[in-house]
Structures are given as structure tokens and as C-alpha cells.
Amino acid sequence: MPKVQLNLEKMENYFVNESFKTLRTNLQFCGSDYKVIDITSCDANEGKSTIALMLSKSLSDIKKKVVFVDCDLRRSVVATRFCDGKNVKGMSEYLSGLATKEEIICSTQYKNLDIIFAGPCCPNPVELMMSDTFVSLIKELKIKYDYVIIDTPPLGLVIDSAVVAKNCDGAVMVISSGRIRTKQAKATKTQLEKSGCKILGAVLNHSDKRGESHYKKYYKRYYGKGYYSHYLPQEENS
């Protein structure tokens, strides 16, 4: 099994970790039947891939065996933005018969977290993800792992996510605050529902940070700046 190094430390701080613990807990409350999760969004650049990857890492922190699957076969940024997996074979190569299953499942520095990259962009992603090979792979991953977190392209732009969702237990929509109109979100929700996949909820990303500032002041006052300050980093863009 190939091994890659994920670069997630720059995205982690106390408040980010707490947010993903909440998301992780809410996912667990959905029940043990929801193991294969489709993460999608309405539009590009809403933070979908980051949220999917950080959720995967958060689940692995509580000793759940997790595989993150990058199914954005059109325009993936995971391999170049989050790790050193540029030369590792991925999903498009496996579905095209150019790589084996053993070649595409990569381990990471996190004990319980594996990852499958998208691989090179291909001209026929929908056809590949409708294949029996893809369906069989997802079934096998569901048996092997506690959670299969699948990052898919924005459903508001292309149909890929709905195709993948047919093989998932549930779906989560990522919505960028102040950017996505209600009409867009409703249209994406309707399209996702047509796949027959249950929508578990939505994640509001890029929300107002005034609430975060309030909690920083609260925790500093309650615990004392000297004791708790190492959990309170400088303001960061998420």
C-alpha cells in the first residue's frame, strides 16, 4: 500500500477542531447504517473538499477506520493542495483498468485514515462511476471501513455527485454562507433527492467570524489566558 503525507496542520486550531467534532457527532447520531457519505456542494470553491477531508480525519481521531475517496474526476485539488500524492495512481486509472485496487488505496500518517485520489482528469467521469467496477469498489470499501467519505464535484454544476450518491447511504451538502442563493441550494437539494440518497444535512461554510471572536473572549476569561492560550491561535482564514 502506497503511503502519503497529508498537510492538514495549517487548517487545525481549537475552533476548527471543535466544529468538526460537532459535525462528526451529528453524523454518528444519524445511526450506524450511514457509513458511505457523499459530500457535495452547489458551486465550486465552497470548501467541500476541505470539509470532507477534515471530517475524515476527525472520525479517524476516535479510532474509526476511515477512507477518504476523491471522486472529483474532473477537477480535483486534493493531491496538489493537501498532500504529496502527485505521483500516486487514483480512481480514474482504477476504473479505466490502468491500476489495481492495491495501487490506489494509500495509507497516511494518521493510523486510521486511508485515502484514494481522483487520478488524472478523464473525459468520461460519469460513465466510469456508473460502471460495475465502481459499484463493486464502494461495496468492498463499506465492508472494510467504518466510514467511506466521498468527495464529489459540485452538483449545481455537473451530475457526477448524483450518480455517486446512488451508491451512498447518505449525503451532506456544503453551502458557502453569503454566496449561494436559496434558489441554488433548493435546486441542488432537489437533484440530490432524485438519486434516492437520503440528505443527512448541510454544512454552512465561510460563516461570520464574530461568533468565534465571542467564544475566544469567553474561554480566555473563564480559563485564564496563560493556561488556555495555546489553544487560541491568531485569526486564520478558513
Q: Measure the CA–CA gap between 29 and 19, rounded to whole angstroms.
A: 15
Residue 91: predicted pLDDT: 96
Give the tens place of pLDDT for each residue, 45-74: 898 999 999 999 999 999 999 999 999 999
Give the tens place of pLDDT for each residue, 122-176: 889 999 999 999 999 999 999 999 999 999 999 989 999 999 999 999 999 999 8
In Å, how far from its chain's centre is CA 84? 18
For the cut 90, the answer to whether the pLDDT of residue 226 exceeds it is no
Per-residue pLDDT, averaged over 38-46, amounts to 93
| 198-205, strands of its sheet edge to edge | 105-107, 113-116, 66-70, 147-151, 36-41, 170-176, 198-205
Residue 232: predicted pLDDT: 38
Q: Which residues of 13-45 are buried (b: 16+ CB within 10 A; e: fewer)?
A: bebbbebbeebbeebeeeeeebbbbbbbbbbee
Read off the pTM.
0.85
For the cut 80, the answer to whether the pLDDT of residue 229 exceeds it is no
Give the tens place of pLDDT for each residue, 94-125: 999 999 999 999 999 999 999 999 999 988 99
**Residue in this structure with the C-alpha cell 457535495, named with its chain if needed:** 40
**Residue in this structure with the C-alpha cell 447504517, named with its chain if needed:** 33
For the cut 90, the answer to whether the pLDDT of residue 223 exceeds it is no
* Local confidence band at 77 (pLDDT 50, 70, 90 cut-offs): confident
For the cut 80, the answer to whether the pLDDT of residue 210 exceeds it is no
* Local confidence band at 208 (pLDDT 50, 70, 90 cut-offs): low
Give the tens place of pLDDT for each residue, 172-189: 999 988 888 899 999 999
